[in-house]
Structure 1
């Protein structure tokens, strides 16, 4: 890997990690069209670290309040809106963690194909557009209870299938359950923190057990570029999501799926 390739791949990861457009669908394009090799485990860890730092920094005040009230509730046994939201984030994270532990090997062996990726990009893109168009959007984060947390958590577990898009399917599920667009995105971003941390930690353990050499300069580039692009992406998305809705992303996913099918057929 050279510096330019590191910048491009990290920027793609940062820009697509939190948008409902499938980061894996975008990362496969330079590999297929330009013949680039897989970026490797160490680089995956670096860009995950960058993405996690970006979302933590953007929502630092919310995270501070949620963690403060959550730990306070353990001592006082009195719930606040923030401590309750903290519990709902934990509940919604459990299905993806369990699914990753149980199905990770199966997914790696049987679902890491271009056609699966293109199909899920298309199907869940259409679903995002339909739900955004027809679902009611009256609920807020304060309305997130066990039912919403469990269903969105199961949706996040389905995102282990390549091309689904973790943010895409969790936002879709939240919209379907009645959350407004802004809070659907906010809940999705809050859920991303523990799951990205878990995925990054898992990859880090694999890296520590590997004997492959580590190019630290490229890892630093990956982490910094991923963090910068992810933060910018979150900032712009949160400012525009209520005005533009999810339809542009749904249309984009359909077009991306068509490109992926075309590349695979050529």
Structure 2
């Protein structure tokens, strides 16, 4: 991998992991558009690690409070707090994708990684995002999420296994469908990404170790750093602006991208 390839792929991963436009689709399409060879498992691990470090760094204060309240709540007779409940809701919302990932990983990794599938999901779930952005009541914050809400968001997240769906996009769609505000559903989606990225990164790491592939440590380190920086900036400005700009710019982008992919697939 040359420096420009590392730069492009790292920034693409960092930005698209948290925007509702599908990071997996962009990591599949970017090498196709630029004529790059596949970047390999090691680099995928590195850029996902960068994104994981970005979201945990950004929410570090909330995560410390959540972890403290959660472990205290495990003591007999200890009360539940908003923070400890949030941990339970994140755990519950993560369970469906763990089960589905085990069942359908082979199908997702091979049969669904086509331009046609990515085009269809990019457009379809972009329209669904637009609908609930307009029709949702947007009257609830993330601390009002019930176990039924968490399970619903988790079931929607399973759809993100299909390339082009967007994990953040589909979980934000589910949140707005349940009446959460744009900022609340975005914050919950970002927090939910922590165990999800950790799980997927662990699977890729295991695959990497199993295959004993050669590792370019300079490329991995550069990729992780660039992914961290772009993801952190993305999270910060997305949360600052989302209530002002709505989801419409991302919907338009998805429709344009999907149309381009349809044209390429014909």
The TM-score, its normalising length taken from structure 1, stands at: 0.97
**How big is each residue's C-alpha offset from its partner over 1:129-157, in whole Å with a ceiling of 9 and x where there is no partner?**
11101111001112101111000000111
Q: Does 1:174 align with 2:184?
A: no
- Does the alignment pair 1:262 with 2:263? yes
State the distance in 1 between where 2:18 and 2:34 align. 25
2:5 matched to which residue of 1? Answer: 5
Runs of 5+ consecutive residues of structure 1 not aligned to the other structure: none
Q: After TM superposition, list the pairs within 5 Å mapping 1:38-77 onto structure 2.
A: 38-76=38-76, 77=78
Counterpart residue number, 1:18: 18
SS at match of 2:38: coil
The C-alpha deviation readout for 1:180-217, integer Å capped at 9, x for no partner, is 11000000001000000011111111111122211100
Q: Which runs of 5+ in 2 are unaligned?
A: none
SS at match of 1:15: helix
Kindly indicate whether residue 211 of structure 2 is the aligned counterpart of residue 222 of structure 1.
Answer: no
Partner of 1:109: 110
Q: Count residues with an aligned counterpart.
A: 265
Cα deviation for residue 158 of structure 1 reads: 1.1
Aligned equivalents of 1:71, 1:212: Cα separation in 2? 39
Deviation at 1:247, TM superposition (A): 1.2
Q: Give the TM-score, by structure 2 length.
A: 0.97
Could you report, residue by residue, the CA deviation over 1:110-145 in whole angstroms, capped at 9, with x for unpaired residues? Answer: 211110011000100011011101111001112101
Aligned pairs for 1:1-266 (under 5 A) are 1-76=1-76, 77-265=78-266
Q: CA RMSD in A?
A: 1.0
Q: Distance in 1 between matches of 2:212 and 2:147?
A: 43
Q: Is the 8 A contact 2:136 2:180 kept in 1?
A: no
Farther off after superposition, 51-60 or 28-37: 28-37
Shift of 1:15: 0.7
Which deviates more, 25-34 or 112-121?
25-34
1:140 and 1:179 in contact (8 A); partners too: yes
SS at match of 1:70: helix
Question: Tell me, what secondary structure is at the counterpart of 1:228?
Answer: helix
